[in-house]
Amino acid sequence: MTTSSGVTAAGLVLCLAAAALLAALAVPLHESARNTAALRSTLADIRSWDRALGAYVAAKGAAPANPKGPIIFKKPIVEELAPYMDQFRTLDWWGFNYQVWTGPGNFEYGIRLDGAADYLLVSTGKGGVRETWTYDSGRPEAGLYALEAAEDYEKDIVIWNGRLVRGPKGAR
């Protein structure tokens, strides 16, 4: 009786199939973990901006001078909020600018900013594309969503005067 110490074709195919199966399972799990981490970090950042705006409004009686749209380092709002923030991130964790609107005359997501102290903070989510979602004052909780699918990370996060009106349910 003779024995062989080589690798058979069937054994090699079996090993390759097992490796492919593990890779097929690992990639979606990794992507889900990355999205979850980006969402949590984005929520923490946007809450930091929210606390700074709230403290500014409490101290000055009004939100900073009427910026509209992306927060960038060139805008006066960054200088005005500097005393109220430890660090600045103007991009969410997917690489898109946070958006801010303050004061009267702004109307975004179906929300009218009437008072000088009113503000709206936004992250446009993983895709960076603004949703067509509109706030429903009769059902304010309707803007909160469960994270059930990869597409849910594409949804906007919207804070209006300190209150999350669009974002994942249970987000703090």
Closest CA to 94 of 160, 52, 50, 154: 154
- Find residue 157's DSSP bridge partners: 123
DSSP 3-state of 149? coil
The predicted structure's pLDDT at residue 73 = 75
The predicted structure's pLDDT at residue 18 = 72
Q: How many CA atoms lie within 13 A of 50 on its CB side?
A: 20
- Outline where DSSP puts E strands in the chain: 68-70, 99-102, 106-108, 111-113, 119-123, 144-145, 157-160, 163-168
How far is 166 from 96, CA to CA, in rounded Å? 17
How many other CB atoms are there within 10 angstroms of residue 144's CB atom? 14
The predicted structure's pLDDT at residue 2 = 59
Residues of the chain with pLDDT > 90, as a percent, come to 65
The predicted structure's pLDDT at residue 76 = 86
The predicted structure's pLDDT at residue 26 = 60
How far is 138 from 116, CA to CA, in rounded Å? 24
How far is 41 from 48, CA to CA, in rounded Å? 11
Given a cut of 50, the residues of the chain with pLDDT beneath it are none
Does residue 113 contact residue 103 with C-beta atoms inside 8 Å?
Answer: yes
The predicted structure's pLDDT at residue 165 = 97
48 φ/ψ sector (left φ>0, alpha ψ -120 to 50, else beta): alpha
- Find residue 167's DSSP bridge partners: 144
Closest CA to 172 of 50, 61, 70: 50
Using CA atoms in the order 37, 42, 44, 48, what is the torsion angle rounded to 10 degrees? 160
pTM for the model stands at 0.83
The predicted structure's pLDDT at residue 19 = 72
